Chains A and B, each alone.
Chain A
Amino acid sequence: NAGVTQTPKFQVLKTGQSMTLQCAQDMNHNSMYWYRQDPGMGLRLIYYSASEGTTDKGEVPNGYNVSRLNKREFSLRLESAAPSQTSVYFCASSGGLSYEQYFGPGTRLTVT
């Protein structure tokens, strides 16, 4: 089982460029999440999707858009990257009543 996969693992962007981070899960989970992790700040929720066809804002949604393409895939798009978006991005999925989440390996993004 691959669990949660993310691509790419690393990315460097110039200010103003756009890119899409891809996430896929093979656990048949209904819910998927995008987080960012900055030094000393734990994990902050960007967007989440409780089920296929729905998306909701999290704590820090500004500058991001998401698409729940199907039950397996949940993508995160940066339309115009800014240096403040330099971070490590994690995708997670959840399918149980206790909301236990399973994380991908992360994408390390640097915006110069």
Chain B
Amino acid sequence: TQLLEQSPQFLSIQEGENLTVYCNSSSVFSSLQWYRQEPGEGPVLLVTVVTGGEVKKLKRLTFQFGDARKDSSLHITAAQPGDTGLYLCAGAEAAGNKLTFGGGTRVLVKP
């Protein structure tokens, strides 16, 4: 079973600060996805990274896939209260069509 570990589990910051969430595994994934989940709703896909070393930007969010395709990070610049939520990383296996989810990082951005 492939495992994904996210850190930290919880992050509380002030509006305007930067934050980074990490997603690590000892396994190689064919692609890695980041989702954001708000209370009472299902996760919503933010981005998919496929190539080792790939960097994708989504406004103030920067996603990076490790060179060996075993880890990923999410960096938020100048966080806003609207960024509050549960961030989940998920890795796709090379074969088959299942995702392995990390345990999630709960982010709270205080105004």
Contacts and interface: CB of A to CB of B under 8 A. Distances in A.
Q: Are A and B subunits of one complex?
A: yes
A61 interface: no
A100 B42 contact: no
A6 to B, nearest CB: 8
B9 A40 contact: yes
A43 B97 contact: no
Contacts of A2: none
Interface residues of A, number: 26
Interface string A72-112: 00000000000000000010101000111111111000000
B99 A41 contact: no
Given A40-B9, A48-B98, A105 B42 contact: yes
B103 A41 contact: yes
A37 to B, nearest CB: 9
A31 interface: yes
A31 B98 CA distance: 9
Interface string B70-100: 0000000000000000001010100011110
Contacts of A13: none
A99 B98 CA distance: 7
A106 B43 CA distance: 10
B103 A99 contact: no
Interface in A3-58: 4, 31, 33, 35, 40-45, 48, 50, 58
Interface pairs A-B: 6 shortest CB-CB = A103-B42, A43-B101, A42-B103, A99-B92, A42-B101, A42-B104
18 contacts: A4-B42, A42-B102, A42-B103, A42-B104, A43-B90, A50-B96, A90-B43, A98-B33, A98-B92, A99-B31, A99-B97, A99-B99, A101-B33, A101-B99, A102-B45, A103-B42, A106-B41, A106-B42
Given A42-B88, A50-B97, A98-B50, 4 more contacts: A33-B98, A98-B48, A99-B33, A103-B43
